[in-house]
């Protein structure tokens, strides 16, 4: 790959996870592989809010990745459920800073699992804090080996990207879900038990999408998940600034 080709590929920021046991910022490689396969260049964003905000200016699009933590319920004005056992303020604040930049600069955003929940809360939505206790008749959502159907809204981008299908099979690893949908978002998919599995932004000419499943794990076999990364990279490429310009300090 030539240097000039590398410089014109969109840079996609991926928010890291926090490993409390070892005080690590890390991210499973599946996210980066999905971005590379879609034609982008993955850039891991450390959970240092000020640094992340400065780095965001150099990036063309963002993935708010999954996390082993939960969004702090105080951010959506609720008390903490006993099953909310892990909150990482550094991750919460980093996502807020990334989203502030992305919305101010009209840059594409994809939220995955925790990332969709963070996006929803950022836009004044709320969460159900523990599905097993709060959603009667809910199917299994926490076992990463489990799969279930998602029914897509016929007029959604995701349905279009799935080849006009209204049902797809996805994986699942979450114990929380969307309660009240955030401002400017609309429901694009639900699981069989009614839980919201996908959100799309109702913003003209903006790529804002959230999915509750983990497309980075199944994109090679599930067409909507593969197309999701392709569309993110395509939207980011339209915003891309040649890296040579960035390096010389003449940014936009």
Positions marked catalytic: 113, 214, 216
* Rounded CA separation 46/55 (Å): 9
The alpha helices in 2-113, defined as continuous H runs, are: 3-8, 29-37, 49-56, 89-105
Q: Are strands 208-211 and 109-112 parallel, antiparallel or unpaired?
A: parallel
Q: Are strands 17-19 and 24-26 parallel, antiparallel or unpaired?
A: antiparallel
Find out whether 126 and 179 touch, Cβ atoms under 8 Å: yes
Segment holding 152, helix H or strand E: strand 147-152
Token pair 């929380």 is found at: 176
* Rounded CA separation 183/190 (Å): 18
């Amino acid at each position: 790959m030539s240097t000039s080709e590398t410089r014109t590929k969109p840079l996609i920021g991926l928010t890291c996870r926090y490993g409390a046991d070892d005080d690590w910022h890390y991210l499973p490689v599946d996210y980066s592989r999905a971005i590379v396969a879609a034609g982008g260049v993955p850039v891991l964003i450390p959970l240092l809010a000020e640094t992340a905000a400065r780095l965001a200016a150099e990036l063309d699009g963002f993935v708010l990745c999954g996390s082993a933590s939960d969004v702090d319920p105080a951010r959506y004005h609720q008390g903490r459920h006993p099953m909310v056992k892990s909150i990482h303020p550094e991750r919460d604040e980093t996502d807020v800073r990334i989203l502030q930049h992305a919305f101010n600069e009209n840059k594409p955003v994809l939220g995955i699992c925790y990332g969709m929940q963070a996006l929803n809360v950022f836009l004044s939505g709320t969460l159900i804090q523990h599905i097993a206790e709060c959603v009667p008749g809910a199917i299994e959502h926490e076992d990463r080996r489990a799969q279930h159907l998602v029914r897509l809204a016929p007029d959604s981008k995701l349905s279009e990207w799935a080849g006009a299908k209204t049902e797809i099979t996805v994986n699942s690893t979450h114990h929380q879900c969307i309660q009240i949908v955030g401002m400017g978002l609309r429901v694009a998919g639900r699981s069989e038990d009614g839980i919201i599995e996908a959100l799309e932004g109702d913003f003209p000419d903006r790529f804002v999408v959230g999915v509750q499943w983990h497309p980075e794990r199944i994109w090679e076999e599930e067409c909507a998940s593969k197309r999701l990364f392709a569309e993110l990279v395509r939207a980011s490429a339209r915003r891309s600034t040649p890296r040579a310009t960035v390096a010389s300090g003449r940014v936009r």
